[in-house]
Structure 1
């Protein structure tokens, strides 16, 4: 039974394919085994597929090469466009930085010029103020010394990135790629704020200088007017110098700095006027010859102490103890020093301007003719020489040889003594 099953299995095996080729009486046959047929079929399929692929490649090769070249051209064009855009951006940033640098240079130059002008103004004011020994130049605001800086500064250097022949001026921090615009804008904004603060400070100093000059001019004018009024009340004619009659000239627009110069010129004129008045006041006998002494007999009509009848008194009598120091009431030159009739021992001082003073009834004379004396200089001692009833000082002031009331001069001196 087993043997029959095995024989049946072998009978089921597929017989190999036989190919018979007959050519007349010549007959040939080939036996084709299954695996050989499979190999041949596979080889044929592979050859067919290769042939078709080669044919397709030959047909489509030009299109593929053209497409690749077009794609490469597009990529190159896009790259060149990007490079051009970046270069244009660099040029814009470079131009903006150069313009900003030029702007900062101009602003720094203007600020330095204004600072130097303010310093020059301060230099002009100091000698003017020192003439009278009044307010010192330190009270006039002056800008701090100019620092040694340049507009380009140490923070600017040449950029290593070049576009054509233009170099970018950048800050000390390297400019990354792409171009850094925000931080550069911030630096410019900071610089603008700094310049604005400096400009505001210089404007304040300039305004304060002008205001201070105006204040000083007003004070000088007020002082000069007080001295002139006091001298006028004493009968001393002083030219005011402030009149605006008989003036004229073409109308010319003032210069940019004319306001300050005009203020300084006005202050200088006021100081010159004040100097003249002070010199006049120091020359005129306005001091008290015997400070603290009481007046016992005034100027003008009175009863004569000896004859007991009305008489003109050409001076003022001061009560004084014998030997009291008598002072010159103004600067001048001694013209008389000796005995002079009813005056007794007398000293006469010429103060210029046709004004003289007489100091009579002295017990002792301490000067001689020709001596130069200053206001307050001791010229003698009180006594009772000459036509006198007791120790006292007879003091006279004469203008053009005519006796005037000495108390007017003394009163004027009290008003202006603090200004001299």
Structure 2
């Protein structure tokens, strides 16, 4: 029979180990089976291994902790360095945009100042241009027309706000921290190359400055052209008067010209040109005013001349005699018109003149209208150019209806033909 306490190893039985403990008369024994021995050995080996591992950890722990701490410190320093670099970049961008905004504001201020200056110039030019426009109706066809008021509507869409500060976004992927600066590189790579706000503003300012400069140059050119034309017109009238043997004093204390070259955009250049135009218009106005006092109109427009000024055969006696005026063929009752504005100094019967009207035009010039059938004015009356002073007739020493017309300078009769020719020459300027 098989015994129950036996074990088989490799096909053979193995007797279990028996441990006997004797103490005096007491004897104890117990059986140790193989599996129990293996278990106890494994437990002892595990305890020994655990002890060795614990001892190794305690020995190497400080090195491991130091290495981990150093690694964390290096990572933190790297992040702080990159954050500092990003903050410096953001500060530079913000500072640049602030400078750009200040530059834009400065340029806008300059443009507004130039626009205000143009508006002020137009206010000063208004009266002068009105005078030039009034004078242009009598100037030659080459005279420029006055310019309209310049309107500057510069719509500046230059709202440049402060630069937004990029937000630092930290994402987490698979438990590890992502690069917080990667999104900046991605944005820079995806962003198209567009001009900055300052560059766009610069181009806009250049265009507006060119427009303003064009308006200023046009103002200066037109002022110069008007002044030159006014001087030329006054010179033409003066030359015509000198050719006719007449002179008109038009000294208006004009300043002498000369000096260094002044830039066109210099405010003093504009003031000089305006003053020159004002003086030219004053000179032209005075020339016209003085010339308009001369008896240059025709007292009987469209009528033929029957007798001229000078020595002729007397129509009644047939002997040579001085004819102090010129005669116009006029039917009885035809109008005799004043050849210039003035004051009636005589209006009545005057010997051989018959019914006569004499008008004082100032400057020593006077005109007489004789042999009238009727007088339409009174002594002391102010008369205008072209107004009717009387009706043609044959009163006094006359052989038939006509108008006897005289021009006198300081009491001496002069040839009226000279004044009529001069009137035709300067009529386009008056």
Q: TM-score scaled to structure 1, two decimals?
A: 0.83
Superposition pairs of residues 387-402 of structure 1, within 5 angstroms: 387-402=397-412
For the 8 Å contact 1:140–1:212, the answer to whether it is kept is no
Root-mean-square deviation over aligned CA pairs: 3.5
Deviates most, 131-140 or 302-311: 131-140
Q: 1:22 to 1:243 in 2, by over 3 A?
A: closer
For the 8 Å contact 2:338–2:385, the answer to whether it is kept is yes
Q: Distance in 2 between matches of 1:258 and 1:248?
A: 14
**Aligned residue in 2 for 1:18:** 17
Secondary structure of the residue aligned to 1:131 is helix
Q: Are residue 97 (structure 1) and residue 97 (structure 2) matched? A: yes
- Report how far residue 359 of structure 1 moved: 0.7
Q: Distance in 1 between matches of 2:200 and 2:277?
A: 41
**Structure 1 portions without partners, runs of 5+:** 1-8, 163-176
Deviates most, 187-196 or 273-282: 187-196
Instruction: Show CA shifts across 1:324-349 (max 9, x none).
Output: 00000000011111111221111110
**Aligned residue in 1 for 2:344:** 334
**Aligned residue in 2 for 1:375:** 385
- Report how far residue 146 of structure 1 moved: 7.2
Secondary structure of the residue aligned to 1:419 is coil
Q: Distance in 1 between matches of 2:308 and 2:164?
A: 95
**Aligned residue in 1 for 2:232:** 222
Secondary structure of the residue aligned to 2:14 is coil
**Aligned residue in 2 for 1:168:** none
Q: Are residue 51 (structure 1) and residue 51 (structure 2) matched? A: yes
Secondary structure of the residue aligned to 1:368 is coil
For the 8 Å contact 1:359–1:393, the answer to whether it is kept is yes
- Report how far residue 71 of structure 1 moved: 1.4
- Report how far residue 62 of structure 1 moved: 0.3
Q: 1:10 to 1:38 in 2, by over 3 A?
A: closer
Q: 1:211 to 1:14 in 2, by over 3 A?
A: farther
**Aligned residue in 2 for 1:296:** 306
Q: Distance in 1 between matches of 2:9 and 2:20?
A: 29
Q: Are residue 144 (structure 1) and residue 124 (structure 2) matched? A: no
Deviates most, 303-312 or 328-337: 303-312
- Report how far residue 242 of structure 1 moved: 9.1
For the 8 Å contact 2:329–2:401, the answer to whether it is kept is yes
Q: Distance in 1 between matches of 2:103 and 2:58?
A: 68
Q: 1:137 to 1:293 in 2, by over 3 A?
A: closer
Secondary structure of the residue aligned to 1:188 is helix
Q: 1:137 to 1:17 in 2, by over 3 A?
A: farther
- Report how far residue 307 of structure 1 moved: 2.5
Secondary structure of the residue aligned to 2:297 is coil
Superposition pairs of residues 145-294 of structure 1, within 5 angstroms: 153=159, 156=161, 186-239=196-249, 241=251, 256-294=266-304
For the 8 Å contact 1:140–1:209, the answer to whether it is kept is no
For the 8 Å contact 1:329–1:375, the answer to whether it is kept is yes
Q: How many residues align?
A: 394
**Aligned residue in 2 for 1:110:** 110
- Report how far residue 108 of structure 1 moved: 0.8
**Aligned residue in 2 for 1:349:** 359
**Aligned residue in 1 for 2:69:** 69
Q: Distance in 1 between matches of 2:415 and 2:407?
A: 7
Q: 1:25 to 1:257 in 2, by over 3 A?
A: same
For the 8 Å contact 1:361–1:393, the answer to whether it is kept is yes
For the 8 Å contact 1:293–1:320, the answer to whether it is kept is yes
Secondary structure of the residue aligned to 2:361 is strand
For the 8 Å contact 1:233–1:408, the answer to whether it is kept is no
Q: Are residue 126 (structure 1) and residue 131 (structure 2) matched? A: no
For the 8 Å contact 2:220–2:273, the answer to whether it is kept is yes
**Structure 2 portions without partners, runs of 5+:** 1-7, 137-143, 168-182
Q: Are residue 410 (structure 1) and residue 415 (structure 2) matched? A: no
Q: TM-score scaled to structure 2, two decimals?
A: 0.81
Deviates most, 35-44 or 63-72: 35-44
